[in-house]
């Protein structure tokens, strides 16, 4: 769901490749998420034979809430770090940003 939140609607095949999941496994997972109201499948406007998956409003809210909870947990742990460790993390931020933006 975070991939869909960050990259927008995509074909099942593309989502499976991005997530490193087997297409049948991802199809089952998407089915479960769709039943729960987190995602919706629609025909791809560029190729009506293909299906694109996108988040629903409920799915977007769930991703936002999960990310906010994770950020809160990280903030608590960062506040507990010694100053030297916190400075080391700040110094590593450019490298961490580069890693996070790498498409692989």
Identify the pLDDT of residue 47: 87
Identify the pLDDT of residue 48: 83
Please, what are the domains in the chain? Answer: 1-104 (1.10.10.10)
Q: Would the pLDDT of 104 be above 80?
A: no
Identify the pLDDT of residue 69: 96
* pLDDT tens figures, 60-70: 999 999 999 99
Question: What is the spatial distance between Cα 29 and Cα 50, in angstroms, rounded to a whole number?
Answer: 17
Q: Do 26 and 15 contact (CB within 8 A), yes or no? A: yes
* pLDDT tens figures, 31-53: 999 999 999 999 988 888 889 99
pTM of the model: 0.75
């Amino acid at each position: 769901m975070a991939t869909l939140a960050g990259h927008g609607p995509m074909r099942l095949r593309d989502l499976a490749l991005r997530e490193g999941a087997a297409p049948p496994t991802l199809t089952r997972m998407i089915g479960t998420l769709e039943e729960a109201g987190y995602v919706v499948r629609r025909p791809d406007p560029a190729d009506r034979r293909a299906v694109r998956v996108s988040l629903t409003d409920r799915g977007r809210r769930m991703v936002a809430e999960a990310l906010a909870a994770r950020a809160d947990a990280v903030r608590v742990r960062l506040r507990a770090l010694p100053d030297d460790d916190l400075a080391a993390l700040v110094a590593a931020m450019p490298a961490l940003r580069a890693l996070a933006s790498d498409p692989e």
